Amino acid sequence: MDITERQKAILMAIIKEFMGDAEEVGSLSLVEKYHLGVSSATIRNEMV
């Protein structure tokens, strides 16, 4: 199963955040920091 470019961008942001703090990453913080052009709900849905 392949992942989409959007899923790849979200996953890379999650990894980057986790590697920096070693703590759970919230979808809203990703929206605010990385401006991915999607809502926090979309981030949660894409990572299911």
pLDDT bin (cut points 50, 70, 90) of residue 35 is very high
State which amino acid sits at residue 4: T
- Domain with 36 in it: 5-46
Q: How many domains does the chain have?
A: 1
pLDDT bin (cut points 50, 70, 90) of residue 45 is very high
**Cα separation of 21 and 25, whole Å?**
9
Burial pattern 26-41, b for ≥16 Cβ within 10 A else e, equals ebeebbeebebebeee
> pTM of the prediction?
0.85
Coil, strand or helix at 4: coil
